[in-house]
Structure 1
């Protein structure tokens, strides 16, 4: 998370203002992200057992729950930049969940998640008057990309160190 700790006060304020908007629209961003991921990467969809159900209401309910959890983690990371020690429990849980995915799937999985998430964050932010300025919007998206990279880095380090001990 070292890059995140080097953000300027202006960048931190921009990230905070975008976090408020994203938090208000978390379910929308999360569900749109998962829909996009499932469309673009069917192999990722297969990682989630509920997507195989014939019950549309059940699939929708589980997608919403998953999307909300995902956005809670993303927002927690964005809010925890100033005190990364707060992120250890979240990081540990993410590593436990994602440890079951092999390295090749993991690399592709997070690339798709990052790009789809950023696309949906952009869609929500550009609707807000505080992000009418394209430079401000682009700067906010770059900050969210930095947050996503921080999460992926923690997952990679945690997965590799955990799998090392499991051998």
Structure 2
């Protein structure tokens, strides 16, 4: 199934330049920013911890020295970095983000992931980026670029969420097909035939 047709925000060349400039100012701190984002996510949404059973926590805070924590934080940061590096060809990210979303479909079906987590991820990312920018830019500049970052990350989240929704729909469709096959007459007849050939009482199988 093709990725959902969600349009990217159309940035002007000046806006692209501003996004790239702001990223260049903080790129050297991206590992630290990534960990800040994930720590804030866990503080704002403690239930999200169950998505990462291997993470270690010291009290209510994640152990930032834990390799699993750093790995997960950087994976998320790579998505953010990939978006700002692809400003001239954002549609090239569609398949990647769609696949990323589909990998979360199973987690949501199993009750481990909630769709509102994407909003939490977005707001925590914006907050931590604003904090990082404020150390290198004046308030007016920060206010300007953070609006652009919100447009960019909002669309990234929409693309991922669309992939998750598509995967869930596919799984539910497959489940309905499996249920139909399970209770269809041909399936029952096949089961009766197997039971007879095995010399087993059919009633013992049900």
Fold match, TM over 0.5? yes
Describe the superposition over 1:86-141 as per-residue Cα deviations: whole angstroms up to 9, x where unpaired.
2135314412332133389433211111111111111111111xx22x22111111
Change (3 A) 1:52 1:29: closer
Does the 8 Å contact 2:18/2:145 carry over to 1? Answer: yes
Partner residue in 2 for 1:119: 127
Partner residue in 1 for 2:193: none
Does 1 or 2 have the higher relative contact order (CA < 8 Å, sep 6+)? 1
Q: Say which one has the larger Rg.
A: 2
Gapped regions of structure 2 (runs ≥ 5): 1-5, 174-206
1:20 is displaced (CA, Å) by: 1.6
1:156 is displaced (CA, Å) by: 2.2
Corresponding residue pairs, total:
162
Change (3 A) 1:39 1:9: same
Equivalent of 1:150, from 155, 158, 174?
155
Does the 8 Å contact 1:51/1:59 carry over to 2? Answer: no
1:52 is displaced (CA, Å) by: 5.3
Partner residue in 2 for 1:60: 66
Query: Which runs of 4 or more aligned residues in structure 1 lie more than 3 Å from their structure 2 counterparts after TM superposition?
Result: 56-59, 103-106
Using the size of structure 2 for normalisation, the TM-score is: 0.69
Change (3 A) 1:39 1:57: closer
Gapped regions of structure 1 (runs ≥ 5): none
- Return the structure number with greater helix share: 1
Change (3 A) 1:57 1:163: closer
Q: 2: CA distance between counterparts of 1:152 and 1:18?
A: 20
1:38 is displaced (CA, Å) by: 0.9
Does the 8 Å contact 1:95/1:155 carry over to 2? Answer: yes
Using the size of structure 1 for normalisation, the TM-score is: 0.84
User: What do you get for the CA RMSD once the two structures are aligned?
Assistant: 2.5
Q: 2: CA distance between counterparts of 1:67 and 1:9?
A: 30
Partner residue in 2 for 1:70: 76
